[in-house]
Amino acid sequence: MPRWISSSPSSLAKSTLVLALTGLALWLGGAVAALLGHAALGATLRCIALVLFAVAILPRSTLMLWTFLAMLAGVEIGLDAPRFAVEIHFFGELFLRLIRMIVAPLIFASITTGIAAHGHLRSVGRIAVKSLIYFEVVTTLGLILGTVAMNLSGAGWGIALPRAVQDSVPAIQAAHTWQLSVVNLFPENIAQAVAQNQILQVAIFSLLFGAALAMLSQSKRAPLLSVLQSLAEAMFQLTRIIMFLAPLAAGAALAYSVASMGLAALLPLGKLVLTFYAALTAFCLFVLIPILLLFRIPMRRFVAAVGEPAAIGFATTTSEAALPLAMERMEEFGVPRWIVSFVIPMGYSFNMDGASVYLAMASIFAAQASGIHLSLGQQIAMLATLILASKGVTGVPRATLVVLLATASAIHIPTAPVLLILGVDTLMDMGRTMINIVGNCMASAVIARSESCLLDSSTLPRTE
């Protein structure tokens, strides 16, 4: 630590505040200089601001703070060095590959050992029913809120569709029937499920395998159980190692997004993005926070627990990147491992809170951009379709886009306007992924509270 930063808590806080405020002033000055045509001066001031921010967080460095700093640096690189931003995009891809590498064994080991070691066979069915009811209620509220927000905003009205967009509509995948969705919950080949990163299928196999293992005698299950417990601990340790790459990956991903799209190209759809984030804010205020209060979940500790996974999901726009860390943080929060390892992976297919807001808004936006006035009955039918269509597609790349195209076809909305959303899809995916992660972490805490087994995290050993 620099000698001019005092080690006392009060002086440290003052020094940190001074550095942060100075950095903020320089950042704003750099933005103003860029607007006035002094690009070089603006970039210099913003880079100095980033250095000050870095020095400010050194005494209290956490993964979340470094991730946010890397995101700011990523925006700067994307604006001022777009070619370099494209070159460093591989860091984000590398991080996602490493995360996908550990997700399946982590889920398998944690679910299996949680059930087999503690004999929670009777509790599993009850928790599954509670989870599904909770997921359905919360996602339905998200769909309703997104529909109301887009009707109030009217962001899609008056948009002229480019001919290039009209001529480039991709083939629409057939919408899932509920029977097919049920069948797809169960893997026909566990190796294929792992290879395709079908999280829910791996979770279902792990659940059945853990139940079978629990039915064996102690002498027969002990050797395999010991190996799986060691595997689970090794996977969590590997997660901590991989997370050191998270800030670099987040910054690289954001730099590439800004460099490839540019901020000016996003302005025509800015109203849609602003409406979306306003709806997410309303969802947090009127849905998530009341749930925290209703189930007496400590809000400050919960926010601290989900901060890092949410930041990683926001920057990388993929829930998979934050899954291992989210599971670890909720276990540290006090949710038993066997509940965490069952509820959170299950929520990745059934509890897409942010995606529900996104899908409802995007469907209404597509109708408005096409000049179609949807009646109340049509909007209710659209919501019913989305409730069913949004389940079980977590393994599909750009799953929300697939669901959106299928839903638009089902309710006879032209699909061409959907492609306009691709221009801001990354910006909206950031908020969608962040709320998905927060919602799934909250679901595990709610289920644990309903089972009267949410522990006081202050009594648990925290693994650094």
Q: Are residues 48 and 192 in the same domain?
A: no
Report the pLDDT value the prediction gives residue 163, as an integer from 0 to 100. 47
As a whole number, mean pLDDT of residues 234-255 equals 81
Q: Answer yes or no: is pLDDT of 278 > 90.
A: yes
Cα dihedral 234, 240, 241, 242, rounded to 10, equals 110
How far out from the chain centre does Cα 463 lie?
23
Report the pLDDT value the prediction gives residue 238, as an integer from 0 to 100. 85
3-state SS of 41-71 is HHHHHHHHHHHHHHHHHHHHCCHHHHHHHHH
Distances (CA, A) of 423 to 154, 257, 260, 271: 18, 10, 10, 13
Q: Are residues 54 and 99 in the same domain?
A: no
Closest CA to 103 of 344, 351, 447, 356: 344
Higher per-residue confidence, 158 vs 297:
297
Report the pLDDT value the prediction gives residue 458, as an integer from 0 to 100. 45
Report the pLDDT value the prediction gives residue 8, as an integer from 0 to 100. 53
Quick check: is 249 in a domain? Answer: yes
Q: Are residues 42 and 153 in the same domain?
A: no
Q: Answer yes or no: is pLDDT of 245 > 70.
A: yes
* Segment 1-21, tens digit of pLDDT: 444 444 455 666 677 778 878
Q: Are residues 200 and 332 in the same domain?
A: yes
Q: Are residues 178 and 255 in the same domain?
A: yes
Quick check: is 148 in a domain? Answer: yes
Quick check: is 319 in a domain? Answer: yes
Give residue 281's pLDDT band: very low, low, confident or very high (50, 70, 90). very high
* Segment 193-213, tens digit of pLDDT: 888 767 668 878 887 888 888
Q: Answer yes or no: is pLDDT of 266 > 90.
A: no
Q: Are residues 35 and 155 in the same domain?
A: no
Q: What is the spatial distance between Cα 137 and Cα 248, in angstroms, rounded to a whole number? A: 37
Quick check: is 464 in a domain? Answer: no
Q: Are residues 230 and 104 in the same domain?
A: yes
Q: Answer yes or no: is pLDDT of 411 > 60.
A: yes
Average pLDDT score over the chain = 77
* Segment 51-64, tens digit of pLDDT: 888 887 776 666 66
Q: Are residues 267 and 396 in the same domain?
A: yes
Least confident of 31-45, 72-86, 284-298: 31-45
As a whole number, mean pLDDT of residues 235-259 equals 79
Distances (CA, A) of 83 to 21, 71, 310: 31, 17, 28
Q: Answer yes or no: is pLDDT of 446 > 90.
A: yes
Quick check: is 394 in a domain? Answer: yes
Q: For residue 7, give both structure tokens.
A: 């080690």
For 194, the domain range is 90-459
Closest CA to 138 of 390, 381, 380, 382: 390
**DSSP 3-state of 395:** coil
Q: Are residues 142 and 207 in the same domain?
A: yes
Report the pLDDT value the prediction gives residue 298, as an integer from 0 to 100. 92
* Segment 65-101, tens digit of pLDDT: 787 788 788 878 887 888 888 888 888 778 778 877 8
Contact 353, 142 (CB under 8 A): yes
3-state helix, strand, coil in the chain (%, to 5): 80, 0, 20
Q: Are residues 56 and 153 in the same domain?
A: no
Q: Answer yes or no: is pLDDT of 181 > 70.
A: no
Q: Are residues 13 and 142 in the same domain?
A: no
Quick check: is 74 in a domain? Answer: no
Q: Are residues 175 and 250 in the same domain?
A: yes
Contact 117, 225 (CB under 8 A): yes
Higher per-residue confidence, 191 vs 115:
191
Q: Answer yes or no: is pLDDT of 45 > 60.
A: yes
Quick check: is 81 in a domain? Answer: no
CB atoms within 10 A of CB 10: 8
Give residue 265's pLDDT band: very low, low, confident or very high (50, 70, 90). very low
Structural domains in the chain (count)? 2
- Residues of 262-282 as b/e, b for ≥16 C-beta within 10 angstroms? eeeebeebeebbebbeebbee
Report the pLDDT value the prediction gives residue 352, as an integer from 0 to 100. 79
Q: Answer yes or no: is pLDDT of 415 > 80.
A: no
Report the pLDDT value the prediction gives residue 279, as an integer from 0 to 100. 93
Write down which residue in 44, 61, 78 finishes a domain.
61
Quick check: is 82 in a domain? Answer: no
Report the pLDDT value the prediction gives residue 167, as an integer from 0 to 100. 42
Q: Answer yes or no: is pLDDT of 310 > 70.
A: yes
CATH number of the domain to which 147 belongs: 1.10.3860.10
